[in-house]
């Protein structure tokens, strides 16, 4: 089965991408994932000055099922990449040369400064990456420097900064949305107005993973203290699915969607595609299962397509969107269905069961 899909003019060997984060943190892991069968990857977010990025340990926290200990939620307070930009530029060139058919997307982030954003865009573009993802969505740490979700939470900033990037790009640009906002359509439409080709959604949801009842310290605890961090993994999937469907119904036809949030297997990935995503990204799932999980993704999608008679991945994108409606319409449909059922129940051979006058009244509208 051919699992390829062309999105914004880029041919993806399959719709499965590593999401920006630890799975795409250097050339070695990117190469390993392409060897394993991933169609593409969004590399870990980079900026011009890595020396400003200092991570803490520990920086992850898990929420486990009370029933069997399975990880259902994951919090991180990790920052963007702490590796120097020169190293990244070299690695982007190298990875693109070694894996020309896999799609490499650079995730970039900078401070509120036009020159810096445009410089970063230009030097990364020169390495031959296939596209950009603008990180307007990291919800912690970077926000103290007015970066990440500080921009994605304010549609006017999203539009302005996106415009700086699209002014100098020749390759497709996606903007990655934060879910920590009331109406995700607003920053997404702002990015569209400024010329993006696609929207990636969602980044992590602000969270506190728990409190240690021995020490009374909230987690993850660093030297006794914490900050709220980004929540990911399977618990966020329903929220991500809702946001992706809202975007798919609102965005212009030509704006692509890359669906992200809690995907762990082919079933989850297909749900995102049916709700409008042309590609899907997986971050925490890869951290917990390893890059080999792509084998099940490919097998599951292939089986689904042949079972359901889909001839291309493109055909299933957005297939379930027509089944969203309004609550008022659901009520109307339900009433109609009931009337229909009533009609079915009122077949002629029932006449003898009831008094003829009663039956006549039942079928009379006035």
Stretch that binds ligand FMN, among 120-128, 159-167, 276-284, 309-317 (CB under 6 A): 276-284
Q: Within its chain, how far is the Cα of 252 from the centroid?
A: 18
- Based on the shown chain and the rule CB under 6 A, indicate whether residue 207 belongs to the binding site for ligand FMN: no
Q: Is the peptide bond before 29 cis (omega within 30 degrees of 0)?
A: no
DSSP one-letter code for 146: T
The answer to whether the beta carbons of residues 162 and 134 sit under 8 Å apart is yes
Token pair listed for 188: 């997404």
Q: Give the range of 48-56, 177-185, 242-250, 258-266 binding ligand FMN by CB under 6 A.
A: 258-266
Cβ closer to ligand FMN: 27 or 80? 80
Residue 282 in contact with ligand FMN, rule: CB under 6 A: yes
Q: Are strands 173-176 and 210-211 parallel, antiparallel or unpaired?
A: unpaired
Residues 89-128 that bind ligand FMN (CB under 6 A): 107
Residue choice 17, 44, 121, 301 for contact with ligand FMN (CB under 6 A): 44
Q: Is 343 helix (H, G, I), strand (E, B) or coil?
A: helix
Q: Does 277 bind ligand FMN (CB under 6 A)?
A: no
Contact between 80 and ligand FMN (CB under 6 A)? Answer: yes
Length, in residues, of the chain: 366
* Residue of 179, 261, 276, 318 that binds ligand FMN (CB under 6 A): 261
- Alpha-carbon Rg for the chain, nearest whole angstrom, is 24
Distances from the Cα of 316 to the Cα of 7, 24, 91, angstroms? 14, 27, 35
By CB under 6 A, residue 149 contacts ligand FMN? no
Rounded to a whole number of angstroms, the minimum distance from the CB of residue 233 to ligand FMN is: 5
Q: Which of 290, 219, 237, 236 is nearest to 76 (CA)?
A: 219
- Is 203 near ligand FMN (CB under 6 A)? yes
How far apart are the C-alpha atoms of 317 and 245, rounded to whole Å?
11
As measured in angstroms, the least distance from the Cβ of 193 to ligand FMN is: 21
Q: Is 138 a catalytic residue?
A: yes
User: Least distance from C-beta 297 to ligand FMN, angstroms?
Assistant: 12
Burial class (CB in 10 A: 0-12, 13-18, 19+), 322: exposed
Binding window for ligand FMN (CB under 6 A); candidates: 20-28, 83-91, 323-331, 354-362:
20-28
Torsion sign, CA atoms 7, 12, 14, 15:
negative
Residues that bind ligand FMN (rule: CB under 6 A) add up to a total of: 27
Closest CA to 257 of 269, 283, 275, 239: 275
Among candidate residues 3, 43, 120, 138, the one labeled active-site is 138
User: 41 is written with which tokens?
Assistant: 């990857």
Here's the x/- map for ligand FMN, 218-257, by CB under 6 A: it reads as --------------xx--x---------------------
Query: Exposure of 59 by Cβ count < 10 A (0-12 exposed, 13-18 middle, 19+ buried)?
Result: middle
Using CB under 6 A as the binding rule, whether residue 263 contacts ligand FMN is answered as yes
> Quick check: 283 binds ligand FMN (CB under 6 A)?
yes
Residues at the interface with ligand FMN (CB under 6 A): 19-22, 44-45, 74, 76, 78, 80, 107, 135, 138, 176, 203-204, 232-233, 236, 260-263, 282-285
Residues carrying an active site annotation = 138
């Amino acid at each position: 089965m051919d699992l390829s899909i062309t999105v914004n003019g880029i041919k993806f060997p399959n719709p499965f991408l590593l999401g920006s984060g630890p799975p795409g943190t250097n050339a070695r892991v990117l190469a390993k994932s392409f060897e394993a069968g991933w169609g593409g990857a969004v590399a870990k977010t980079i900026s011009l000055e890595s020396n400003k990025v200092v991570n803490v340990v520990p920086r992850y926290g898990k929420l486990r099922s009370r029933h069997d200990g399975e990880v259902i939620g994951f919090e991180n307070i990790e920052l963007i990449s702490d590796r120097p930009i020169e190293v990244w530029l070299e690695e982007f060139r190298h990875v693109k040369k070694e894996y020309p058919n896999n799609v490499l997307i650079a995730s970039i982030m900078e401070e509120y400064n036009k020159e810096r954003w445009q410089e970063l865009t230009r030097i990364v573009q020169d390495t031959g990456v296939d596209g950009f993802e603008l990180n307007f969505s990291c919800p912690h740490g970077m926000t103290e420097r007015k970066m990440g979700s500080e921009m994605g939470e304010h549609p006017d900033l999203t539009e302005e900064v996106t415009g700086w990037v699209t002014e100098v790009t020749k390759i497709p640009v996606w903007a990655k949305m934060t879910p920590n906002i009331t109406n995700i359509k607003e920053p997404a439409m702002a990015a569209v107005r400024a010329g993006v080709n696609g929207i990636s959604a969602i980044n992590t949801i602000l969270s506190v993973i728990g409190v240690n009842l021995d020490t009374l310290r909230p987690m993850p605890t660093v030297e006794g203290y914490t900050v709220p961090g980004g929540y990911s993994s399977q618990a966020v999937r329903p929220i991500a699915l809702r946001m992706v469907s809202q975007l798919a119904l609102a965005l212009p036809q030509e704006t692509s969607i890359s669906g992200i949030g809690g995907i762990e297997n082919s079933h989850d990935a297909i749900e995102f595609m049916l709700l409008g995503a042309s590609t899907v990204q997986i971050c925490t799932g890869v951290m917990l299962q390893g890059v080999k999980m792509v084998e099940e993704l490919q097998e599951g999608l292939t089986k689904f397509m042949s079972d359901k008679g889909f001839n291309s991945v493109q055909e299933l994108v957005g297939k379930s969107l027509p089944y969203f409606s309004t609550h008022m319409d659901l009520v109307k449909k339900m009433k109609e269905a009931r009337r229909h059922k009533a009609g079915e129940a009122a077949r002629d051979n029932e006449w003898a069961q009831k008094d003829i006058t009663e039956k006549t009244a039942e079928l009379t509208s006035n």
